[in-house]
Amino acid sequence: MRLNASVLLQASFLLLINQNGVQGQRLAVQKCAEYAKIITKTQALIPLTINPKPITYKIYNCTNVVQLIVGGEQAKFGEFPHHALIGYPREDNANEYDFRCGGSLISDRHILTAAHCFSNDDPKVVRLGEYDTTFESEDEVQFGIAAVRKHPNYLNQRSYNDIGLIKLDRQVWFTKNIRPACLWDSEYRNMSSYIATGFGYKETVGIELSTTMMKVQLDEFPVNDCEQAFLGDRRFKNGIHGGQMCVGSIVGGKDTCQGDSGGPLQTVTTPKTCIYHIVGITSVGGACGIGQSKAVYTKVSYYLDWIEDNVWGANKL
């Protein structure tokens, strides 16, 4: 049986749609548009004229981004609805948890984080909607962990390919204060400043983690700066990898610190929409907030094929 060219072309087109959704758009971009609808409402105004035509406009039901963690400031409640806390059983009480890593909600079942967050200890829970760890709020929801997956090329003794995924034990129901972030999908970045968030140490000499979510604005530096900062560090035997970013501050006292591992480095392209794009994942820091501190972040766009394949694709976790 021979198929004509038009039938073959149509079949190829349908196959492309099934694999990639909208033709020419990768999955991460489609999902971003889908998530934006969660907080978007279309309303209409009726002009006071003869035979009026309704004027439609969009409103966004979210906590507005405040333009601009060591040297940082307290975030607003609901400002970062994708931020996740990753919990590990305490040694003295397995029913209570230390939240030593952070992450980002990127689907209704998946958290994006750093691979080193489950290299030595096994996390047991993920908490979403958390803002103040000293206060139990009806907005926060705790999930069990069904599975974790590290990037296949990650090695414990190195800091390359420091990216991983957590699958939650049940579906996340999205709300104003719990919803996914988008993923930055291009190697090109038209900005040089980002926002890091977390519950890490607020002071240079860390004793206790912050009980409320903190945010700090950080700047991107040439990778050579981090190669000098981490010169001789065995974790960077081959220098800074193409899948890494050098980020920090020229002003002392601004940094992400221990306890923020795996947390998001993000940007917001249109503030009124409250839509964040995850650009990086907190991986390795240097001296905590001392002087011109710099840290290495995993570059999300470099690993986007792996993320899409393991979250929505054939190798779905």
**Residues identified as active-site:** 116, 162, 261
Is residue 218 within 8 A of residue 141, CB to CB? The reply is no
d(CA 294, CA 284): 9
The closest alpha carbon to 122, from 156, 88, 149, belongs to 88
Q: Which two tokens stand for residue 306?
A: 């792996």
pLDDT in tens, 17-47: 334 455 678 999 999 999 988 877 655 555 5
- Given 2.40.10.10, 2.40.50.110, 3.40.50.300, 3.30.1600.10, which CATH number is that of 182-301? 2.40.10.10
Cross-strand bridge partners of residue 44: 56
Look at residue 307 and give its three-state secondary structure: helix
The one-digit pLDDT tens for each residue of the chain (317 residues) are 444 443 333 333 333 333 445 567 899 999 999 998 887 765 555 555 666 666 654 556 665 554 445 567 888 888 999 999 999 999 899 889 989 899 999 999 999 999 999 988 899 999 999 988 888 888 899 999 999 999 999 998 899 999 999 999 999 999 989 999 999 998 877 777 899 888 866 555 455 667 888 888 888 999 999 999 888 889 999 999 999 999 987 765 555 554 478 999 999 876 666 789 999 999 987 555 544 578 899 999 999 999 999 999 999 99
